[in-house]
Amino acid sequence: VKVPTNPNPRPPDDDSWFPGYKSWLGHQVMLFISDHTPRCNEVVRILSEGMDRKLPLRRRIQLQVHHAMCCYCHRYERQLKDLRKFSNAFPEEIGEASGEVLPADAKARLKRALKAESE
Amino acid sequence: MESPGSSSAGKADPSRWVDDHGDCLFRYALVRVRTQEVAEDLVQETLLAAVRTQEKFAGRSSERSWLVGILKNKIVDYYRKLGRETTFTDMEFLKDEFSEKFVAEGWWVHVDGPKEWRPESDEVMHKGEFWQTMRDCLGKLPRRVGDVFMLREMEGIPSKEICQTLNITESNLWVMLHRARMALRECLEMNWFENKGKKS
């Protein structure tokens, strides 16, 4: 059975389970998934929302099914988690690296203010 | 000399806090509020508040974490006072649908889709240069969007609380966070993972 050519070719490192456009059966699975799950531009929005609230079970299943034909959204999901990990660590990492100090005049001003406040 | 952090009998000398914790508090504020003046003001407000409440501080935690706790609240207060004003650049940024990343049917342009990040995130986090890239990328976010991202992802404040603090709706918050994440992901991939990260 003939499989159509992919109008949106996938690069060699694509490791989706059902990328489509290869075997007839795999292609049908891909078409079925794409009929029953949101498109990628919608998936990324939902994935982001999932970082801020718990998604309904139905949604979470849809996302997992979508990932089977789209390693890009799957990567995106993992990278959102990485982004959170980076952001958590960021203030400490960049704060230590910066070596910024409170300027001397600010320190003197602070001490005066504190003295006035405690009297 | 009294050792830092000791909660010896009687009142601590507040001016000692400036020497013991001033730089640390300042750096803490500076990564979160962008300008030096605001950071200095917040440190001052924090220490003044500490003077007023030091009776309540019974040495349950270390002096440093007590002060950082006060500073955290001052930072959230600062953002609350900033209110809900959204700038022109924020609006432009929020309108961007990243349409160049997707084909008309909504799939990724596959050749331009997210790449596998190498090296892995745990390894990346040991590299000083990575944090500079992260800072540059965060700096590209428009102000308001950057603030929201910082409160949610760096401080880990729950979405509901951020909405109350900034007086915005939850869907508004989600749009801002989604765009911020999209832009940051893209920026890190382009400037680190597909560039410096690969070479090192």
Mean pLDDT along residues B98-103: 90
Q: Tell me the chain A residues in contact with residue B97 when contact means C-beta distances shorter than 8 Å.
A: 41
User: Which of B62, B49, B75, B73 has its CA nearest to residue A114?
Assistant: B49
B37 vs A106: CA distance, rounded Å: 10
Q: Do B110 and A9 touch (CB under 8 A)?
A: yes
Reply yes or no on whether the pLDDT at B82 is more than 70: yes
User: Model ipTM?
Assistant: 0.89
- Distance between CA B105 and CA A70 in Å, rounded? 14
- Nearest Cα to Cα of residue A47 among A63, A68, A70, A66: A63
**Paired tokens of A85:** 């990990």
Residue recorded with tokens 């940024």? B93
User: Can you tell me whether residue A8 is helix, strand or coil?
Assistant: coil
Q: Confidence class of residue B8 from pLDDT cuts 50, 70 and 90?
A: very low
CB pairs under 8 A between A and B: 165
Separation of first and last alpha carbons in chain B: 47
Which of A53, A75, A85 shows the shortest C-beta gap to B114?
A75
Contact, B168 vs B117, CB < 8 A? no
DSSP B108: B
Query: CA B122, CA B41: separation in Å to the nearest integer?
Result: 35
Q: Count CB-CB contacts under 10 A for residue B198.
A: 10
* Model pLDDT for residues B15-43, shown as the tens digit of each residue: 888 999 999 999 999 988 878 999 999 99
pLDDT means per 10 residues, chain A with 119 residues, are: 89 94 92 94 96 96 96 97 95 77 92 86
